[in-house]
Amino acid sequence: MLNTPEQSNQFKSPGEEIESLKRRIEELKTSSLEENREVMEIAVEAVKEHSKKAPEETLHEKYRYTPSAEELKGHHTAIFDLSPEEHDQQIAELLDLAEDKGVINVVNLVSKTGNAHLLDDFERALARKVSTSTN
């Protein structure tokens, strides 16, 4: 079976997606040298830009993740019942989940909670992690 142009541009693993995000951050850093922009600002921009992509267009169907109603309910409960100290743990778990399931999948999951603060914190934490990792 031949790959269509759309399929050949799809990420085939979460690792491939994260490596692409790292490359995009490097591109933005290079193009922003004269603007004196902070690395975190550039990384957050790259994560937000990447997060707007539709999973169907960018993720190979093998690793697209659509949570069941039960999973989504569990995440809603976990997210909204957390105290501020546990929020950091939730972000850490979401970062781990992004490595396992993919960035776009996790952003979509967090978006469905309706918690804009959590989404913003997750995107910033992801930007920090991706922009400072060497692998």
Which pLDDT value is given to residue 4?
A: 41
Mean pLDDT over residues 14-36, rounded? 86
The phi, psi pair for 31, rounded to 5°, reads -75, -15
- The answer to the question of residue 1 being in a domain is no
- The answer to the question of residue 38 being in a domain is yes
Query: Can you read off the two tokens belonging to residue 15?
Result: 């690792």
For the CA atoms of 124, 126, 127, 132, the dihedral, rounded to the nearest 10 degrees, stands at 130
Confidence grade of residue 2 (pLDDT, cut at 50, 70, 90)? very low
SS3 135: coil
Range of the domain at 91: 12-132
Confidence grade of residue 79 (pLDDT, cut at 50, 70, 90)? very low
Give residues with Cβ within 8 angstroms of 104, minimum separation 6: 17, 50, 51, 53, 55, 58, 59
- The answer to the question of residue 2 being in a domain is no
Looking at every residue in the chain, the average pLDDT score rounds to: 78
- The answer to the question of residue 121 being in a domain is yes
Residue 23: pLDDT over 90: yes
Distance CA 106, CA 104 (A): 5
Give, in order, the Cα–Cα distances in Å from 43 to each of 18, 47, 50.
12, 6, 10
- The answer to the question of residue 81 being in a domain is yes
- The answer to the question of residue 69 being in a domain is yes
Confidence grade of residue 75 (pLDDT, cut at 50, 70, 90)? low
Number of domains in the chain: 1
Confidence grade of residue 74 (pLDDT, cut at 50, 70, 90)? low
